[in-house]
Amino acid sequence: MSYSVELISPERKDDLYAQHLNEPFHMAKADIYGSAIKLYTTDRDMKERWEDNFYAMSDSVRSHGRLILLKDGSNECKVLYEPVAKTAFLYNFDYYGWVKSVALAVAGDLLEDEHHIHSVHGAALDINGRGVAMIAPSKTGKTTHAWGLLRLPGARLITDDWFYVRMTGRPDAYGSEKNCYVDADIGTIWPEYSNLLSNAVVDNKGRAIVNVRWVTGQGSVVPMTGLQDVIFLKRDKDDDVIVRPLDAEEGLEYLIERDFCNPHQMVRDERKMRIRSQFFLQLLQQTRVHLVNTISSPEETQNVIRRLLL
């Protein structure tokens, strides 16, 4: 992880807020699965990315959480987070991917504590009515293969990065982002998306916010699905087994060893870790679980995943 998170007291939060109250902030409020998360930033481009990425929340709705982007003259990226008021001070962040992930994590902290709704850093799709989750560490192909599956007839995207799960009899996955933030080279892997990326505004990290509906159709993004399959990904050239089934305990071990495949957790105390472990165990007990090793080409790995699901 390339930024640190420090928990602060409500008193320190109030002091910091008062200290920066008169800065010329651009402000925007996002609707993240019913939570009003407000952004404060002096960077107009950051605000515009936020508005392109998330659904807007009405200004008449009071904020449930806040992200305040600041500079302190150093190059150290850090978050000071006050968990009572769900307020995060982000210092020296110029990468939108981290900003949006902190926003999703702040909303997740609220939903976890107040509504028993849980965060998953992963992709989710509905394929002919069957919900599929893809969970993996960074750079193992999660977004690549979510977008690969989206080319299937009958496939619809919930999200390619982060979703929330309600355990109400069955695990239901809910998305929260209006548009996707992806590597600009996705069109070189799946040519169907090349025109989409060629017209996108690419940021300083080689990524862009895009509306995948322009390629896959207006009905190709839906708000939720009932999960039936979980696919974990890894990239391990020392392991020649490409795909293996896992039971719930093996799946939980995979997740715990990898920090739940989520580097963007605002609070990591014993209580929170216990809640997350219990949630994931319950999720994996109610779904079919496989581990796929993505050492082959994207096309070969995509075929392996499709054979598991179709």
32: helix, strand or coil = strand
Residues 167-225: pLDDT tens digits?
988 899 999 999 999 999 999 999 999 999 888 999 989 999 999 999 999 999 999 99
Chain centroid offset of residue 71 CA? 25
Q: Are residues 103 and 166 located together in one domain of the fold?
A: no
pLDDT of residue 168: 82
User: Do both 81 and 109 map to the same domain?
Assistant: yes
Mean pLDDT for 122-126 is: 98
Predicted confidence at residue 118, as pLDDT, reads: 99
Maximum Cα interatomic distance, the chain, rounded to a whole number of Å? 58
1 pLDDT more than 60: no
The whole-angstrom separation of Cα 180 and Cα 198 is 15
Question: What are the helix (H) ranges across 172-227?
Answer: 186-189, 194-198, 213-216
CB 255 within 8 A of CB 280: yes
- The dihedral region occupied by 203, where left means phi > 0, alpha psi between -120 and 50, and beta the remainder, is beta
Residues 148 and 262 in one domain: yes
- For the entire predicted model, the pTM comes to 0.97
State mean pLDDT over 2-9: 96
**How many residues belong to the chain?**
310
Q: What is the pLDDT, as a whole number, of residue 139? A: 85
| Dihedral sign from CA coordinates of 304, 306, 308, 310 | negative
Tokens 């699905």 belong to 225
Q: Do 276 and 241 reside in the same domain of the chain?
A: yes
In the chain, how many domains are there?
2
Q: Which residues of 131-155 are buried (b: 16+ CB within 10 A; e: fewer)?
A: bbbbbbbeebbbbbbbbbbbebeeb
CATH of the domain at 16: 3.40.449.10
Whether residues 167 and 75 fall in one domain: no
Q: Residue range 238-250: average pLDDT?
A: 97
Give pLDDT, residue 7: 99
The residue range of the domain holding 86 is: 4-115
State mean pLDDT over 158-168.
96
List helix spans (H) across 60-135: 96-115
- Same domain for 104 and 197? no
Q: Which two tokens stand for residue 65?
A: 């959480």
Mean pLDDT (the chain, rounded): 96
* pLDDT of res. 169: 82
| Of 64, 86, 115, the domain-final residue | 115
* Strand-strand pairing, 224-234 and 243-246: unpaired
State the Cα–Cα distance between residues 46 and 42, nearest whole angstrom: 8
Q: How far is CA 11 from the centre of its chain?
A: 30
pLDDT for 52-74, tens place per residue? 999 999 999 999 999 999 999 89
Helix (H, G, I), strand (E, B) or coil at 305: helix
Tokens of 192: 């169907």
The reply to whether 100 and 136 lie within a common domain is no
